Amino acid sequence: MKIALAQLNYIVGDIEGNRKKILQTVLDARKQQAELVVFSELAICGYPPLDLLERGTFVESCVDAIHLLAIEIPEDTAVLVGGPEFNEHEEGKLLFNSAWLLQGGKVINTFRKSLLPTYDIFDEYRYFEPNRTFSLIELNGKKIAVTICEDLWDDQPMENRFSRSRLYTRHPLEEMAPEGPDLVINIAASPFAATRMEVKKQIFVEKARKHHLPVFMVNQVGANTELIFEGGSLAVGPDGSIHHQLALFEEDLYVTETDLTSPGEDAKIPDWARISMIHDALVLGVQDYFAKSGFKKATLGLSGGIDSAVTLAIAARALGSKNLHVLLMPSQYSSDHSIADSEQMARTLGIKYDILSIKDIFDLYREALQPVFGDREEDLAEENIQSRIRGTLLMALSNKLGNILLNTSNKSETAVGYGTLYGDMAGGLSVLGDVYKIDVYALARFINRDGEVIPENIITKPPSAELRPDQKDSDSLPDYETLDSVLELYIEKQLSASQIAAEGFDPQLVNRIVRMVNVNEYKRYQTPPILRISTKAFGVGRRIPIVGRY
């Protein structure tokens, strides 16, 4: 049987637009003689729909669109598409997360998700009732085990789950295996995390190998707010060999036979270099945030530092140079080369820029506040005023011209509170908020791989906020290699301070870093959405009390 893996980019809530896209893809696949076309989890409404699922009219529209799709597709073509389904039983949650099988103008069957992830960014048990019964479908002489995303992640390695080796007590494929399936289909909406790509791939490889069955996984692609989906759908042979991987970070359609006993011509796996994937993920994240929200133009403050430079390069790639208008806002503490480097980069990329000095504005603030501040020495208050002046100017440009402000803070700074609320932490979208400083430098080198986009001086000079004379980041923070290592162990690995110190770090330094992370939770609650590229980003996937003493 010929099966088509349809990896598409959906807009959450655009049910009609998603239906039309699905229909066109079915017609395209049918031209390649596909007998079954498979789409991703909750494809009809886009993933994640979140609390839209609590609106009855929303779910009704999804169901209606699926029934209309069944009528529209060619009668001799079967379609497997993800969408919500009403739970008709008197008990349990109101909905199922289902895969709908369509053929011959009607819905043939539905298959419901059993394992509902409730960790990190996932909260599916908030909306869905888990499936508890398992059966196969027969289609064109093939018996198929249909699973939905987490259903094949039942024995995934879970970090920091104490002594438990398995998160779940039910294992869908193991329960279906005695019925003798010929192949396994997994429809997924699995977000990107740079360090999890090999783990994700290995899950499907091991399932195929363990049950000696071909596995076909269709993942969503595209970005919805902070979540980025890389695609990378797979066709895996019964021996665990990967016959084909669909494109990363773009739509793709692949038609193949369900019999994968011999390697095909597309067996080579593309290079999954981590930094290049992070770069492409961030470009897609910015691109889709703007396109799906109806925005076109962006602004940011170009300071002459590495963070704003990398953010600008990514934005230029995502939106086009003509859709960017940036501000250079020097103060009396700004170095001449910071201005020169920023101008050079803007000219290289062909980006419109203006220079607005904040010195006179800052002096007016000082004068206005003198009766309150008196003879107290200048300190963090005056530094933050400068940052907030810049934030005000950027938001003024945003309001007047309609350019959405991109936040340029990196994860290292966001973690320890090295930023100013309503100043450099302002913005509509945080591009680098899940990227540690060391990786920001690596991104800069990657961006410059074919020629200098970011001036070399920006990459090599010591980082500085330039808010006081001769200021360096190292005045307030440990070196970034040490800081980032400790932060990763604390945030991603969730180790305690004593466990981190046992890894060879100075206990006093570790305690200081951990305290900075903990006391700045209130700042992170007020930041813009952060594009997620790790397993533990700030935002919805990391829920820490602001008020607490642990």
In a domain, 485, yes or no: no
Full-model pTM: 0.93
Confidence of residue 546 (pLDDT cuts 50, 70, 90): confident
* Rounded average pLDDT over 363-384: 93
Residues 127 and 18 in one domain: yes
Residues in the chain: 550
What DSSP line would sit under 95-140, residue for residue?
A: EEEEEEEEETTEEEEEEE------STT--GGGTBPPP-----EEET
Confidence of residue 269 (pLDDT cuts 50, 70, 90): very low
41 is an active site residue: yes
Query: Tokens 């298959």 appear where?
Result: 111
Q: Which two tokens stand for residue 357?
A: 């000095």
In a domain, 546, yes or no: no
What secondary structure, in 3-state letters, does 473-522 show? Answer: HHHCCCCHHHHHHHHHHHHCCCCCHHHHHCCCCCHHHHHHHHHHHHHCHH
Residues 99 and 219 in one domain: yes
Q: Which two tokens stand for residue 166?
A: 């398995």
Q: Which two tokens stand for residue 297?
A: 């133009």
In a domain, 111, yes or no: yes
- Of 474, 493, 523, which closes a domain? 474
Confidence of residue 466 (pLDDT cuts 50, 70, 90): low
Residue 428, domain CATH: 3.40.50.620
Residues 191 and 339 in one domain: no
More confident call, 271 vs 255: 255
Residues 435 and 309 in one domain: yes
pLDDT of residue 282: 98
Q: Omega of the bond prior to 48 within 30 degrees of 0, cis?
A: yes
Residues 298 and 442 in one domain: yes
pLDDT at 476 exceeding the cut of 80? no
Number of domains, the chain = 2
Please give the Cα distance from 301 to 323 (Å, whole number).
15
Picking from 131, 52, 55, the residue whose alpha carbon sits closest to that of residue 97 is 131
The tens digit of pLDDT for each residue in 93-122 reads 999 999 999 999 999 999 999 999 998 899
Question: Of 85, 124, 149, 200, which residue is the catalytic one?
Answer: 149
Max distance between CA atoms of the chain, in angstroms, equals: 87
230 is an active site residue: no
In a domain, 480, yes or no: no
Q: What percent of the chain has pLDDT over 70?
A: 94
pLDDT at 267 exceeding the cut of 50? no
Q: Which two tokens stand for residue 533?
A: 């590229």
What DSSP line would sit under 1-58, residue for residue?
A: -EEEEEE-B--TT-HHHHHHHHHHHHHHHHTTT-SEEE--TTTTT-S--GGGGG-HHH
Question: Of 35, 45, 62, 113, which residue is the catalytic one?
Answer: 113
Confidence of residue 266 (pLDDT cuts 50, 70, 90): very low
Asked if 415 and 408 touch (Cβ cutoff 8 Å), the reply is: no
Beta-sheet pairing, 227-230 with 221-224: antiparallel
Q: Which two tokens stand for residue 224?
A: 């919805």
In a domain, 68, yes or no: yes
Please give the Cα distance from 403 to 411 (Å, whole number).
24
- Of 474, 506, 537, which closes a domain? 474
Confidence of residue 271 (pLDDT cuts 50, 70, 90): very low
CB atoms under 10 Å from CB of 250, counted, come to 14
Residue 200, domain CATH: 3.60.110.10
For residue 60, the enclosing domain spans 2-260
Question: Of 21, 35, 41, 437, which residue is the catalytic one?
Answer: 41
